[in-house]
Amino acid sequence: AALLLALQVRLIMKAYSFIRENVPRVLSSVKDKSGTVHIPRISQYLYFLFAPTLIYRDNYPRNPTIRWGYVATKFAQVLGSLFYAYYIFVRLCIPQFRNSSQETFNLRGLVLCIFNSILPGVLILFLVFFAFLHCWLNAFAEMLRFADRMFYK
């Protein structure tokens, strides 16, 4: 459900950017009564939907070729991050909660369980950040030949 919500929010943000960039152009050409109205092509909109950006432009800087070795490396890093996050979860998080489920409930046990799960939780968050925002988006940017890779700015 959270993944679906995140995808819907991304699509809403992209639709808003597309409308915000194109409606003023269409309105100004109608107001000036010029014969040509610049409407983006479907291919431009589809590229924008898959490009790792939230700001619509008719043209983006593009690389001349796709480096498939780079794409494979980024996807391998995503898989490695997922396996490492699974390992952290199984080794450090699950035993904490398994032990707490066998004991009677007390506040001290709950606080200890939470504090023992903070470090693994932070490690998993860093792995998710690295896997999605760095590896996944760079792999798709490379496959789309998207040259503007300033994701962190």
**What element of type H or E holds 41?**
none
Confidence (pLDDT) at 46: 92
Q: Is a pLDDT exceeding 80 seen at residue 5?
A: yes
CA trace torsion 23, 24, 28, 31 (10° rounding): 60
113 and 52 within one domain: no
Total domains in the fold of the chain: 2
> No. of H helices and E strands in the chain?
6, 0
Q: What's the predicted TM-score (pTM) here?
A: 0.74
pLDDT digits (tens, 9 = 90+) for 64-94: 999 999 999 999 999 999 999 999 999 988 8
70 and 46 within one domain: no
Residue 146 sits at φ, ψ, to 5 deg, of -75, 115
Calpha distance 119→56 (Å, rounded): 39
80 and 14 within one domain: no
CB 56 within 8 A of CB 17: yes
Please, is 146 exposed, middle or buried when counting C-beta atoms within 10 Å of its C-beta (0-12, 13-18, 19+)?
Answer: buried
Q: Is a pLDDT exceeding 70 seen at residue 111?
A: yes
pLDDT digits (tens, 9 = 90+) for 35-63: 677 788 899 999 999 888 888 998 888 98
State the pLDDT confidence band at 151, using cuts at 50, 70 and 90: low
147 and 99 within one domain: yes
End position of a domain, from candidates 60, 85, 106: 60
pLDDT digits (tens, 9 = 90+) for 17-34: 999 998 888 888 777 776
Match 């610049």 to its residue by tokens: 38
Q: Is a pLDDT exceeding 70 seen at residue 152?
A: no
85 and 113 within one domain: yes
Confidence (pLDDT) at 68: 96
89 and 23 within one domain: no
Confidence (pLDDT) at 14: 94
76 and 44 within one domain: no
Q: State which amino acid sits at residue 93.
A: C
Confidence (pLDDT) at 36: 75
Domain residues for the domain of 144 are: 61-152
9 and 40 within one domain: yes
Strand segments, DSSP code E, in the chain are none
69 and 51 within one domain: no
